[in-house]
Structure formats: structure tokens, C-alpha cells
Amino acid sequence: MRRPLFALPLMLSLISSAYAQDLEQRTGLADQREVAVTIYNENLALVKDVRKLSLKRGPNQLAFRDVSARMRPETALLRSVSAPGSVSVFEQNFDFDLLTPQKLLEKYTGQTVQVVRTHPTTGVESSESAQVLATNEGVVLKIGNRIETGVPGRIVFGDVPANLRDRPTLVMSLNNNSNSAQELELSYLTGGLSWKADYVVELAPADDKLDISGWVTLNNTSGASYKNAKLQLVAGDVNQVQDTMRVQVSGSRLMAAPPVAAKAGMAEESLFEYHLYTLGRPTTIAENQSKQVALLSASGVPVRKEFLLRGGDYYYQGAYGDLGQKMKIAAFIEFENKENAQLGMPIPKGVIRVYKKDSQGNAQFIGEDRVDHTPKNEKIRLKLGDAFDVTADKKQTDFKKIAGNSKYNYIFESAYELVLKNAKKEAVVVTVQEPMPGDWQVLSSSHPHSKGSSNTAVWQVSVPAESSTKLSYRALVRY
């Protein structure tokens, strides 16, 4: 029986595909001896996958299966751990097009498949050859002299194309100089792996101490799982060259300090201009999984609470009169990241959520704030919200222009009255910060002030319990 001429290229393609698949040596997770994952802050990870293989001497076609679907193939590096220098790669292909019915149809566009129908009454099956014309938004088939849309029955394919895989696969053409089994390490950068730090703080009843616990949340959308992985986290802003999708990671490790064991099981050390956190036990990072790992914990950390009212610089150059009634006063807490304060390790950026127990002993949420990467011996300052029982009324009591006829030589003098009210049963201290423009001077004040910065006057005002305190001052500004 003579076969149609259009079927000959298809047969040759299928034979070539099957032959190529048969020639390659495949390695999967069953060969894996260890895997290490280093995750960076910006959706970036370095994977080191070690597998034990026996390669034939000479040219080999190695299909390294179960790699990340979001691998950056230009960063892939294969080396022999047990026999250094025995393996050299001269070509590689990253097959991340995964096997699905739709993908299989797409790969067979322009080729011939078999359509099998089952008679609804007799159950007898019949088969026809069909050419796949299109697969966009449905299927278009040419069966004999007619065109059909949709799938009229089961579609039978001759084979799976060589570049269509059930798992993401890096196929490498390499040369092997070793006769024995060896451990091969494939390292590569990938997206789809990220981490963030979250912290839980419980404030003491007197607001003078706190307990803190830090957690790392790992997210894996890379398309691969990493079983019993050695996990490391890098805190810091690593430069990435966005236009070429390549990532610059320093190859040198400058160990400025020895690893410091964290109480929750993570060790910390310096790495170039970043900080590296190493989990002291293997952990499995499953595909499409979010998991939490303990980072740090500390108890009895001294803390300072502050009430802050910050003004504006606009009302020093004009007459405004009333500036606000029942003005909100912000509530902050501040603590130091020092060893003598029960901490003393670099803290990765993240969100700190603060709780405090009520009179019944139930922990209640009282606020949160985001902190940046915080080195050792630095302060951590958190805004938790606005005070309910501490408010302020503010007004401008005098304003006059002393001299000047343009915005470059004006001199203004103005006076202000600020009434701080405290409805609490204990006294509080309110920090008043006034940003002042130009060359400024406080001419007189009811309370002593300090120069917080070149453009800020600062007052520390004590307000008795269930009472109020009036702060009045006069200022001169020159432009």
C-alpha cells in the first residue's frame, strides 16, 4: 500500500524525535544527592543541584530533568564535584515547554494525527487521518476533503516531540573523560523563589520592654521542588542588570565576621556587602508552596515610647490664625539592635507587628510598621499609630513682616501658642518638632528648646495626668 507523500516528513520527524530521546541520558530527582538554595530579596535564587551519574566516556547527551521552570539558562554551569575537569559542556538547550494536550496539539500544527470516533450505539471505533490546521482558540482539522472545527473524537498522536517535556529540562551536549560514576553539580540562577521577613513583638504592660520573634516566609513559584535543601538567605540589595536579564552576584566572599548563631536556629555572617542567613537543618521547599521558618527571637528588649507632634514650615511666612484643633499626636516606640539589649544581629527588612495584652491577658494588635535592613548597633523606630488621649490645639497669635520686598530678602516674625492635652491617668512627655524655613531664630519661648537639625526646633514638653500644658514661642525667620 502506498503512503501519501505528506506523511513521509512526519514519519521521519517522529523517528528522529524518538531516536534523539533514546540517545539522551536522563537524570531526575532519584539521582539527586543534595540540593542547596540561596534566596535573595528580589525574586532571585541560586540553586546548586548535585546528582550522581554514570556517563559513558566521550560525547553524551544529558537531559537534566526537574530543574526550575524559571531558570535563567545563560547562568547554568555544570561541573563534576568528584572528578573536577572531567566534564565539559559545548551546547545546551532549555526545554521549558511542558507537556499538555493543548501544547501537544500546537506542536502538531501542519502534521497528521488520527481521530478515533466511537459509535454511540454499537460502540465500534473508527479511525481517520486528519491534518491539524490551527489550534488558536479551538482546533481546526482537515479530514479528507472537509474542514472540521472542534475535536470530533479522541485524537491519537504518533509521539511526543523532543522539545516537549513533562518536566522542565536542561539538555546538554557534553564530553566526559571519566569512566566511573561521578557527582555532577548543576548551578543556576532562577526566578520564582523569594523570601521576606516578618516580626511579631509583644509589648510589656509598662511599655518599657518587648519580646520579639522573627519569621522568614518563603514563596516558591519556580515550577520545581527542592527536597531537603540546604537553605540560605541573603539580605541586601543585590544589583541586577535588568536590560539583559543577567544578575551580578559577587564571586568573592569577604568574611568580615564569623557566623553568629541565632537563638531560633539560623546562623548569620557577612557576605560581601550583604548578610547571609543559614538554616541549621535541611528543609523542603515544595512547588507552589509558602512556608515559614524561624529567624530570630529575643526577650526583655528595652524600649522607649515617644509622643511626637510635627508642625509645618509654611505658616512662618504668612498669617494663618487657627492651625488646628484636637491635632493628632503620633505614637512611636524605639529600641536598639545591640547585644546588651538582647539583640545584636543584622535584621533583614520586613514588617514588624506589635501586640499588647489587655487586662484579661489577651494579646491585642496595636500597630505595625515597615523597617529597612538594620545593621547591628542601630536603632529601630516604629510608628504604631496616633494617640487617642493625647491631643493638641495650635494657633498663630501674631504675624508681621519686619523687612523685605522680594522672596529673597523677607524677614518675618511670628508667635504661636500650642496647648497639649493629656487625658491619661499618668503624665506624658510630648516631643514637638517645628520645621523652620530660612535663617531662623527662636526669640522667646515658655519652654527650653534645642536645635534638632539645621531647620528644626525641638521641645520636650511634660504634660501632667488629666491636665494640659501650654507651649508658647516667638520666632524670627530670614530669607
What is the band of 392 on the pLDDT scale with cuts at 50, 70, 90?
very high
* Of 243 and 15, the one with more pLDDT: 243
What is the band of 238 on the pLDDT scale with cuts at 50, 70, 90?
confident
Report the chain's mean pLDDT, rounded to a whole number. 87
- Least confident segment among 71-85, 88-102, 269-283: 88-102
Strands 182-190 and 32-40 come out as unpaired
Residues 35 and 273: their CA atoms lie apart, in Å, by 25
Confidence (pLDDT) at 259: 35
In this model, does residue 407 exceed pLDDT 80?
no
> What is the fold of 304-337+378-478?
Immunoglobulin-like (2.60.40)
| All residues at 6 or more sequence positions from 9 whose CB lies less than 8 Å from its CB, including other chains | none
- Least confident segment among 7-16, 238-247, 305-314: 7-16
- For 121-151, the pLDDT digits (tens) are 888 888 889 898 988 888 888 898 889 887 7
Confidence (pLDDT) at 242: 67
C-alpha angle 326-332-335 in degrees, rounded to nearest 5: 165
What is the band of 250 on the pLDDT scale with cuts at 50, 70, 90?
very low
Q: Quick one: average pLDDT of 271-300?
A: 91
Confidence (pLDDT) at 4: 40
Which is it for the CA torsion 117, 119, 124, 128, positive or negative? negative
- Amino acid type, 466: E
| All residues at 6 or more sequence positions from 215 whose CB lies less than 8 Å from its CB, including other chains | 197, 198, 199, 200, 292, 293, 294, 295
In this model, does residue 20 exceed pLDDT 70?
no
Q: Where are the domains of the chain?
A: 7-98+164-190, 101-156, 193-302, 304-337+378-478
* Of 265 and 141, the one with more pLDDT: 141
Confidence (pLDDT) at 372: 92
What is the band of 321 on the pLDDT scale with cuts at 50, 70, 90?
very high
- For 192-206, the pLDDT digits (tens) are 999 999 999 999 999
In this model, does residue 387 exceed pLDDT 50?
yes
In this model, does residue 99 exceed pLDDT 60?
yes
* Of 94 and 14, the one with more pLDDT: 94
Q: Quick one: average pLDDT of 318-341?
A: 94
Task: Determine contact, residues 140/147, Cβ cutoff 8 Å.
Answer: yes
Task: Determine contact, residues 61/171, Cβ cutoff 8 Å.
Answer: yes
Residues 117 and 101: their CA atoms lie apart, in Å, by 18
In this model, does residue 254 exceed pLDDT 50?
no
- For 425-439, the pLDDT digits (tens) are 999 999 999 999 999
Percent of the chain exceeding pLDDT 90 equals 66
Task: Determine contact, residues 394/425, Cβ cutoff 8 Å.
Answer: no
Confidence (pLDDT) at 412: 95
Q: How many CB atoms lie within 10 A of CB 64?
A: 25
Confidence (pLDDT) at 400: 95
What is the band of 9 on the pLDDT scale with cuts at 50, 70, 90?
very low
In this model, does residue 172 exceed pLDDT 90?
yes
